[in-house]
Chains A and B, each alone.
Chain A
């Protein structure tokens, strides 16, 4: 087979390196702290889109409730940062609690006195929640649109819960820690290159890990069950277990994104559990290409980037434009922009072999060998 360069693993890794190195160089060339902060927030959107690509693209699990893990992570980090500015002796209680009539720190806030413990919980709680919720759903063989609806319902429940528990969460006002996150005596200024590099370092390493996961036997099995879970079951694999794991891994990445969000914005509110935001994540992945991790990341950059710069000019019609664009993509490019690229490259490689058939034929055994060695 004459190979489409899109499927060439080496070419893929080159694209990854070029993409992330150029992102990493931005703070060297651009010193405007506000712009850096905004670009770092885009990195968080990239993390979320990538997590959707893993769950929906690789595993075929359409998750409209990714905001659950994202919001839990964001609240966990906000609680950690809030407690950093509290004093155990003189002001053990965040001020919004006393205004809401609480006299004692609620038990589930206690572990957040410790920064390490707080961050651990911010990541562990959403991951464990997803393991349990996923296991319940996938064991019962809930899938496709039914799972999407369940995840959406769960997200709405969380939104209302956080909004209603005013004394514990400060309701609609949200939590706004006064000081940036402090780790081991170092205060992480959200407008600094360090914060930017932290986010993109995480985006880089988690994307590479996700890509390796996709290339492993695990990833292969998950891709197979996207197509036909029944067949995978008859091959001897526990499908529910595989689905639960890919769903929880994706949730973990969203929780990391949530933590980063609070670090950068220093504010968290029930908006992070907003249904529209979770659906937006799915649109990023759909536009960029849900089957490609990097495609989904670029989809998030493109959409959020154009919203920041064009959204102001179009104001109310922005969402209409976005919606129209989304419909066009879903109808004509089911695999998004990455799918378009794949198609164009396939056309190119096909036409080049047609033009020089002897050369193409001579190349094919070598290509087959390379593939044998590569896989």
Chain B
């Protein structure tokens, strides 16, 4: 099991404001890493840098040995990096089924897609994913009518339809009920069987349940890393968090 993602000495600044300052991290194949840290630590910015929404000021992001920084968002997605956004981004005017269908992006050539009407491989994948994310009975509903938790699942489902090797999930359980959180934890454990995940999450209870590794960010730096018990026992981590940990729990 080798390294999937290698981040080296990453910097990102907006004008004189340094958001990411010399961040380095390694992610191993088929692990679920949770990224935690106080607000403003740079977690979402890091996701943006990996997925190409932002370009780093300096440093490198290597995915399976290939440099990602400098590539466009669509090229990075093509290489197998899927992304779920903090504010769920689904196509609200389209049905759940259409959302999932579009996300199946094995073929991106527009001319070939003009001739594509019924895609067997897609239908098989759609069946699998819709059961996995618990939306198999909601397929013909317009996505804008889904509950908040279901919308989160739909977006996770969309990233799964992409057949990614690395999934970046930004706050996947925000706004979910207790039962939905349980299901999501189960789902993520299942996804981890075939892919690598990086999950940004505030809820320490959830992190404890799903994480193989926990990385703590603070002020744009790599602050600490380890198993959840080590992190919770770490006095320095407790200090930077102060009240936030109790709020989340």
Determine whether A215 belongs to the interface, using a CB cutoff of 8 Å to chain B: yes
* Residues of A contacting B119 in the complex (Cβ-Cβ under 8 angstroms): 217
11 CB contacts below 8 A, A to B, read: A216-B113, A220-B98, A220-B101, A221-B113, A224-B91, A224-B99, A228-B91, A236-B78, A238-B72, A245-B110, A368-B139
A218's partner among B53, B82, B91, B110 (CB-CB below 8 A) is B110
User: Interface digits, B193-210 against A, CB 8 Å rule (1 contact, 0 not)?
Assistant: 000000000000000000
**With contact pairs A236-B78, A236-B108 given, residues A230 and B89 touching in the complex (Cβ less than 8 Å):** yes
Alpha-carbon separation in the docked complex, A242 to B118 (Å):
20
- Which A residues, 340 to 375, have Cβ-Cβ distances below 8 Å to chain B? 368, 371, 375
**A-B contact sample (10 more), CB < 8 A, given A237-B105, A368-B140:** A1-B141, A213-B114, A217-B113, A223-B91, A227-B93, A230-B73, A233-B77, A234-B51, A235-B162, A375-B118
A231 CB, nearest partner CB in chain B, Å: 5
**With contact pairs A223-B94, A224-B91 given, residues A234 and B116 touching in the complex (Cβ less than 8 Å):** no
Alpha-carbon separation in the docked complex, A200 to B72 (Å):
44
**With contact pairs A216-B113, A217-B116, A217-B119 given, residues A235 and B105 touching in the complex (Cβ less than 8 Å):** yes
* Residues of B contacting A217 in the complex (Cβ-Cβ under 8 angstroms): 101, 107, 113-114, 116-117, 119
- Which B residues, 36 to 66, have Cβ-Cβ distances below 8 Å to chain A? 51, 53
* Residues of A contacting B73 in the complex (Cβ-Cβ under 8 angstroms): 230, 233-234
Alpha-carbon separation in the docked complex, A215 to B118 (Å):
10
**With contact pairs A227-B93, A228-B89 given, residues A233 and B140 touching in the complex (Cβ less than 8 Å):** no
What is the interface of chain A mostly: helix, strand, loop, or mixed? helix
* Residues of B contacting A237 in the complex (Cβ-Cβ under 8 angstroms): 74, 105, 108
B105's partner among A223, A227, A228, A236 (CB-CB below 8 A) is A236
Alpha-carbon separation in the docked complex, A235 to B80 (Å):
10
What is the interface of chain B mostly: helix, strand, loop, or mixed? loop
A140 CB, nearest partner CB in chain B, Å: 13
Is A231 within 8 A of B91, CB to CB?
yes
Which residue of B is nearest A232, CB measured?
Answer: B102
Alpha-carbon separation in the docked complex, A245 to B91 (Å):
21
Determine whether A131 belongs to the interface, using a CB cutoff of 8 Å to chain B: no
Q: Which residues of B contact A (CB under 8 A)?
A: 51, 53, 72-74, 77-78, 82-83, 85, 89-94, 97-99, 101-103, 105, 107-108, 110, 113-119, 139-141, 158, 162
A363 CB, nearest partner CB in chain B, Å: 13
B95 CB, nearest partner CB in chain A, Å: 9
* Residues of B contacting A230 in the complex (Cβ-Cβ under 8 angstroms): 73, 89
* Residues of B contacting A232 in the complex (Cβ-Cβ under 8 angstroms): 102
B117 CB, nearest partner CB in chain A, Å: 6
Which residue of A is nearest B105, CB measured?
Answer: A236
A40 CB, nearest partner CB in chain B, Å: 29
Q: Which of A220, A242, A371 has the most CB of B within 10 A?
A: A220
* Residues of B contacting A160 in the complex (Cβ-Cβ under 8 angstroms): none
Number of A residues with CB within 8 Å of any CB on chain B = 28
| 10 tightest Cβ-Cβ pairs between the two chains A and B | A236-B77, A217-B116, A217-B113, A236-B105, A1-B140, A218-B113, A218-B114, A233-B73, A236-B78, A231-B89
* Residues of B contacting A227 in the complex (Cβ-Cβ under 8 angstroms): 91-94
Alpha-carbon separation in the docked complex, A290 to B211 (Å):
48
B102's partner among A1, A235, A245, A371 (CB-CB below 8 A) is A235
A239's partner among B74, B78, B85 (CB-CB below 8 A) is B74
Determine whether A11 belongs to the interface, using a CB cutoff of 8 Å to chain B: no
* Residues of A contacting B103 in the complex (Cβ-Cβ under 8 angstroms): 235
B47 CB, nearest partner CB in chain A, Å: 11
Alpha-carbon separation in the docked complex, A215 to B114 (Å):
9
Which residue of A is nearest B92, CB measured?
Answer: A227
Alpha-carbon separation in the docked complex, A294 to B18 (Å):
54
User: Interface digits, A238-264 against B, CB 8 Å rule (1 contact, 0 not)?
Assistant: 110110010000000000000000000
Q: Which of A230, A237, A368 has the most CB of B within 10 A?
A: A237
Alpha-carbon separation in the docked complex, A213 to B113 (Å):
9
Alpha-carbon separation in the docked complex, A83 to B107 (Å):
46
A56 CB, nearest partner CB in chain B, Å: 15
Alpha-carbon separation in the docked complex, A228 to B92 (Å):
9
Which residue of A is nearest B143, CB measured?
Answer: A227
Alpha-carbon separation in the docked complex, A236 to B51 (Å):
11
Is B91 within 8 A of A216, CB to CB?
no
* Residues of A contacting B74 in the complex (Cβ-Cβ under 8 angstroms): 233-239
* Residues of B contacting A245 in the complex (Cβ-Cβ under 8 angstroms): 110
Is A221 within 8 A of B102, CB to CB?
yes
Alpha-carbon separation in the docked complex, A364 to B129 (Å):
22
B163 CB, nearest partner CB in chain A, Å: 10
B115's partner among A216, A233, A239, A368 (CB-CB below 8 A) is A216
Is B117 within 8 A of A216, CB to CB?
yes
Alpha-carbon separation in the docked complex, A220 to B108 (Å):
12
* Residues of B contacting A218 in the complex (Cβ-Cβ under 8 angstroms): 110, 113-114, 116
